[in-house]
Each structure stands twice: as C-alpha cells, then as structure tokens.
Structure 1
Amino acid sequence: MKHITVVGGGFAGLTAAITAAEAGSRVTLHEAHHTLGGRARTAEGPYRTNEGPHALYRGGPHWTWLKQRDLLGPLAPLPLREAARFRFHRAGALRRTPPLGFLRHTLCTADQAPVGTDFLTWATRVAGPTAARTAAAFSAVALFHHDPGSLSARFVQERLHRAAALPPEAHYLRGGWGQLVDRMAARAWDLGVRIKTSSRVDTLPLADGPVVVATSLPAAARLLGDPGLTWDSGRTVLFDLALRTRAGDPFVVSDLDAPGWIERFTAQDPSLAPAGQQLLQAQLPIAPGQSKADGVAHAERLLDLAFPRWRERTLWRREAVSTGRTGAVDRPGTTWRDRPAIDRGDGVYLVGDQVAAPGVLSEVSFTSAVEAVSLALRAHRLDLKRA
C-alpha cells in the first residue's frame, strides 16, 4: 500500500490510522482542531469533562483491540458504597430499585426483539405497559434519544440489555477519554503515522491511495458532495456541574418517567475535579421542538430531588446542546446495514458512529474504522493481482 489518508483525528480516525500503519501502510492523518480526540476530548483545567459520558463497554470488540495494544490504561473502579447509591426517579419520587417488570425485561436479548416493530409496542406485549415505558426511558442512557419507544425494538433492546447488564459492562477510563486519545496518538506516532493538527480538509485529497473520512456525517456529506449522507440521531442537553462534596449524594439518578440521567463521575474517579468537589453530568434528550432551557429545567428538577442544596454548593456549571452527534438511531424496519455504506467507491471510505457497522455507542466508530482499512487493503491486493 503506497499511502492512506485519514481525515479526522477522533476515535474512529485514530483507530483507522493505527490499523493501517500496523498493516504496513504509510498514513497521514488530518485533524481540523488543534488537538486530537473529536468527541473523545477531555477538557483541560480543573474539571475534566468529556463531550458526553464516553463509557467503554467491556463486551465490545474495541475493548479487546485496545487491551491487546496496551492502550486501555488504568480504569476507574466504582467503590461498592457508591454502587449502592443508584437511584431511580419514578412517579415523582426517588427509589432504590426499579419495577420488577423492568428488571425482567432487561434480560431479553436483542435477537428476541423484532426489527420492524417499534420498541414500545413490542415491549408492551412482552412485559406490559408500565415496564415498557420504564425500559424505554432507561434505555436513553445508551442512545440519547427523546423517544426511544418509537425506535426499532431490536435496536433499543440491544442497548437496554447491555446498559442494564450485571455485572456492569460499562467502564470508565481514569482521567477521562483524553488519556486514551493520548495513548492512541503515541501509538500512531510510533508506527510512523504523520499527524497534522489544525489541518482542515475542505476538498477530497488527491492522494496516491485510499482516503478514510472519519468526520461527523454532516461534515462528510459536505466533503464528499453527497447530501444523501444522512441518518437519524439524537439531540441531547449536556449539563455539567461542579458541587462542593456532600456525603450521601447519589451516584446515578435515572429518570424512568422521561428519558434523562444524572451521573456523579467523581464517584469512581475523584481526579476529575479538585479535592473537596464532585463533578456531575446530566444528559437530557430533547425533542426537535424543545430548547436547551427545557433540558436544563428537566435536570434541575432531578437535582432538586436528589442533591440537597445543590444550588448553594454549585462552584461551576456548563450547558450545551449536542445535535446529530450522539450516534445513529434506527427506526422500525431498519438496521445498521441500512445506514450510509462504509465503501463510497473510488477508494473513499466513510467511518464514524452513524455508518453501516454494528455495535453500541463508540463500538460503531471502532468497527467501521477497522472495516474501512480492511476493505482498502483488500482492494489494493486485487489491484496488484490485476496489474
């Protein structure tokens, strides 16, 4: 392979660059931002926030890939006393346990759910209306959508089953995802990848080899001149909050009445905030007609119930809307195979979390990146045979 160009230095772009370099290709990676990471960046300063929760699921393929290359790094284990502080908001009150019907429904695997039926209809038949509504609201933690019940039952059930697994599949990296990005970047440098930051690519590179486009789907549509590169995604308010520490604050508050979630990230990783402080993030999916203020108001209602005197204890806060950046969501009758194809023809490959690759959350980015490089190498070998 003469050369592979990667456009985008987030998790998908770095995965593609490392995979190609390990196969013997020369690789150049372009990143428009002055730092690598994309949505996997961790903010600098006293509060180490991510642009989203960024959990790594232990059962996913990227877990093994990262572990084999010694890239996982130290994890942030959750103390048992904190695990006991999981709270559920239901019918206007905080509870220690969810409904029994919900727990039973989480045991169903994805292959038991139909692709062509919406989740709420199917789950109501299986577990009853109360458990179905509860399961739909809870599943938003792994898909960031305001109405999970309207999505494909197969799609939602896969995420619900894995998000509610015991022991938990979700793990967090000590110091935030930025630490993983740094390790991946160092691995890429060691393999000879040429990394160019502050290098915006506005036209498709005229390279002497394949091009892997590892940007958001809207950015890829502009770069490739293909307005048909679209897929549904969620729209979520991210509400970061630093509070003075108070003994007894919950670890997680999951809203079972409406999709929404608050997590105290310093429960498992105190290094994310200064001593004596704790860092929270609320994730509140909002509908197309709703505003950031609606999501913030939802978060504040949950905070009022779960975190006594939180306003008096607030030291820092930040609010943002994440639009079209929360991964693909599949409507009834569609699967990951129906999303925009990885192979765009003429040596161009598309990767990211909204393309035709399986997995949950960041697994889609990883799987598509490995597949793109595999397809590029296969095409190159065929060209050599023809020559």
Structure 2
Amino acid sequence: MHRITVIGGGLAGLAAAVTAAEAGAKVTVFEAHHTLGGRARTAEGPYRTNDGPHALYSGGPHWTWLKQRDLIGPLAPIPPLEAARLRLRHQGVLRRTPPFAMLKLLRHTARQAPVDVDFRTWATGQAGEEGARAAANYSAVALFHHDPGALSAAFVQERLRRATKLPPEAHYPRGGWANVVDRMAARAWNLGVRMETLSRVDTAETTGGPVIVATSLDAARRLLGDDSLTWTGGRTTLLDLAVRTRRGDAFAVSDLDSPGWLERFSAQDRSLAPAGEQLVQGQIPIAPHETKADGIARAEELLDLAFDGWRGRVTWRREAVANGRTGAVDLPGTSWRDRPAIDRGDGVYLAGDQVAAPGVLSEVSFNSALTAVSLALGRQALDLKEA
C-alpha cells in the first residue's frame, strides 16, 4: 500500500486525497488552518461569503469529477428575472448589451487566438480598439488581473469564451462553496483519509513517502526552499457588502471601461444573507502600484450606477486585498505548460492553481491534483488536454 502525504487541505489537497485513497493509498492530509477548504471556505454567520466571488464552471473536467462522486450537491439557479438584470458599464453608463464590436470576438467562428501575441494587439486587429478593450475588461471575471489585454491572447480568449457561453457555465453551490468542501472532506474521511487540521508542516523532507504539496505557490516556494517556484498572478480588491433589499437592484455589473465585477449572490441563494437583506460581492483588479482604496473607489462607482441609494442601505461591509491568490495568468509566449512543473523530483509533487495543468480558475487545481496522484502512485501521468 502506498503512503501519500498531502500538505494543504484546499480543493487541490482534498481532490488529491480522495483520488489517492480511491486508488488504495493510505493518505494523510496536513492543513495549517483550523478548517479545510483553502480559498473555497465560506464564512460562518449571517453573511455566508466566499473568499471573493466564486462560481463553479460546468465545462471542465473538475465538474465531471465532482458529479461522478455526487459531491456538487444542490445548486442555486439564477431566476430568469434576475439573469435579465445583468448590466455592463460602457463609456460611463450602464447598458444591457455589450458593444457590437465586442460581439465579433464572441462568435463561434472567431479565429483561434495565438499564444505569442498579447490579447489587446490581437483583438484590436479582429474587432477594433473599442471591442478589444471591452472584451479584455469583461474577461476579468475569470482572470482577476488589472490588465487582461497584456496577457497571452490564447489565454484570455479561452476565459472570455467560457465566461460568455450560453447557456452559462457558471453555477452556484447552495449555501456557498463550504458545502462542496464538506462533501469532499466526508468522502475522504469515509475512504480512510487521516486529516490533521491546525498542523503546519515546515519541511516536506520529514513526512516520508511521496508528498503532494497542495498550497499556494508562495507557500510551496518557502516550504521546498525552491526560488524557481514563481509565476505571474493577479492582485484584487475584494468588497463584501450587505444592503437592505430594494426592487430593481442589478443582479451583476461588469465594468467594460476597466476590469471589475460586482454580483448580488443572494439573488440566486437567499440563504446567504438574513431576510430582507442582499449580499453583494465584488472584485476589482488593481495594479502593483495601486492601493486597496483605489479598488474600493472603482467598486463604489459601480454601486452608484447599479444599486440606487446603496449607501443608506448598508447593514454590513468588509474589504480586503487578495494578493497573489487569484490563480495563474499567462503572459504572451507562455501557456500552462510553461508554469512550474508538477513533478519536483525526489517524490515531491505540486498541486494548485499556478502550476503546469490546463483549465480555468479552480480547474487547474483539480487537474494538477489528479496528475500529482498519478505520478506519486507510479502510473503514467494523466493526459490533460487544453480546454
């Protein structure tokens, strides 16, 4: 029987633990926090916020993996009336539809974007400067980066297509992502996985047997003492807001003038906030030289447009900055294959959202976890194809 140690109890760590245990391995998970889930945790209390806006995309292999094991659970569908309240800020005003130039980039017949050119340059050639800017900024909902136009055209195009697909790929676990985490943890427990919370591991060398490091890339770099474990990420101001209910509030607002997104999560799941209140979560990407206040100011501009009188209706508010916690982003000339390799040698493997695995957002964590387990068990690596 193989013995595998997993460091980190987030989505990647739990996926690795379940997969390894299903293959017959004896698995131990060490989690430094007092609860499992990583960035998929959901806050306790009357306002059940995720760590920033979260959605579960149904178009990737992680959806299939979860569904096969009955781990997704009940979903909170968006009522049609609410879905019709999606708004786009373009040239300073709210619109119901994107500019026509942007639609050129969303057609199924649109050209496959190249890897080695930035999205702004490529998209401008396809749809003009206005359409390129609007499309790049809209893609921030699946990028969390302050300048999506500067990233690889192929990388941005994939996320733009996934974020605008009809019917929508985005789904919302009822009660927040913590319920998915709880089901994954229960599955691991029933398979005999030993899970140690409040257990910080300082070195992978003392654990014995194959080790899967399922932490942030920053934490993995410190743990393994490997300065090569770096990759470009995003930096985002997060705003959580509860307001008294008012008819006519937007369901979501996407900023096409600059990257940013606000969403009223209680529109589809009333359990996330007390009766008579609405829970709004937003993310505004900020550049390295910008501050949290800069992002909050832009978020409040969107609120002023889409949530009439919101300042007088606030019942709860929280602000934060997510720095280097938004997953990998690929610069021109790079793809997921160029990120830090999963196999680090000497029986150490990486899993997480900034390593060499394909997918959008949390899909990278799942794909890398499955590959890490496959390699740790001495099997041929899974054939992960680009989405």
Deviates more, 1:266-275 or 1:50-59: 50-59
What is the root-mean-square deviation in Å for CA atoms of aligned residues? 1.4
1:205 deviation in Å? 4.1
Residue pair 2:374, 2:380 contacting (<8 A) in 1 also = no
1:116 alignment partner in structure 2 = 116
1:294 alignment partner in structure 2 = 294
1:127 deviation in Å? 1.0
Distance, in Å, in 1 between the alignment partners of 2:52 and 2:103 is 26
Query: What amino acid is aligned across from residue 19 of structure 2 in structure 1?
Result: T
2:308 alignment partner in structure 1 = 308
1:110 deviation in Å? 9.0
Query: What amino acid is aligned across from residue 272 of structure 1 in structure 2?
Result: L
**Superposition pairs of residues 1-387 of structure 1, within 5 angstroms:** 1-108=1-108, 112-378=112-378
Query: What amino acid is aligned across from residue 257 of structure 1 in structure 2?
Result: D
SS class of match (1:326): coil
Deviations 1:252-273 (A, max 9, x none): 1111000011100001111100
SS class of match (1:5): strand
Residue pair 2:104, 2:126 contacting (<8 A) in 1 also = no
Query: What amino acid is aligned across from residue 78 of structure 1 in structure 2?
Result: I
Residue pair 2:30, 2:201 contacting (<8 A) in 1 also = yes
Query: What amino acid is aligned across from residue 68 of structure 1 in structure 2?
Result: Q
5+ residue gaps, structure 2: 382-387
Distance, in Å, in 2 between the alignment partners of 1:108 and 1:134 is 18
Distance, in Å, in 2 between the alignment partners of 1:324 and 1:90 is 28
Deviations 1:330-367 (A, max 9, x none): 00000000000000001000010000000000000000
1:104 deviation in Å? 2.6
Distance, in Å, in 1 between the alignment partners of 2:345 and 2:82 is 50
1:385 alignment partner in structure 2 = none
Question: Percentage identity across aligned positions?
Answer: 73
1:206 deviation in Å? 2.8
Deviations 1:178-227 (A, max 9, x none): 00000000000000000000000011143442000000001000000001
Deviations 1:216-240 (A, max 9, x none): 0010000000011000000000000
**TM-score scaled to structure 2, two decimals?**
0.97
Distance, in Å, in 2 between the alignment partners of 1:90 and 1:54 is 24
Query: What amino acid is aligned across from residue 357 of structure 1 in structure 2?
Result: A
Residue pair 1:109, 1:158 contacting (<8 A) in 2 also = no
Distance, in Å, in 2 between the alignment partners of 1:109 and 1:37 is 39
SS class of match (2:167): coil
Distance, in Å, in 1 between the alignment partners of 2:158 and 2:109 is 7
Residue pair 1:109, 1:161 contacting (<8 A) in 2 also = no
1:384 alignment partner in structure 2 = none
SS class of match (1:322): strand
Residue pair 2:2, 2:377 contacting (<8 A) in 1 also = no
Distance, in Å, in 2 between the alignment partners of 1:298 and 1:177 is 27
Query: What amino acid is aligned across from residue 97 of structure 1 in structure 2?
Result: T
Residue pair 1:110, 1:161 contacting (<8 A) in 2 also = no
1:111 deviation in Å? 7.3
Residue pair 1:113, 1:154 contacting (<8 A) in 2 also = yes
1:109 deviation in Å? 7.7
Distance, in Å, in 2 between the alignment partners of 1:292 and 1:33 is 25
1:101 deviation in Å? 2.0
Distance, in Å, in 1 between the alignment partners of 2:190 and 2:106 is 43
SS class of match (1:13): helix
SS class of match (2:289): coil
**TM-score scaled to structure 1, two decimals?**
0.97
Query: What amino acid is aligned across from residue 344 of structure 1 in structure 2?
Result: R
Residue pair 1:353, 1:362 contacting (<8 A) in 2 also = yes
Deviates more, 1:23-32 or 1:300-309: 300-309
1:54 deviation in Å? 2.0
Distance, in Å, in 1 between the alignment partners of 2:283 and 2:309 is 20
Query: What amino acid is aligned across from residue 274 of structure 2 in structure 1?
Result: P
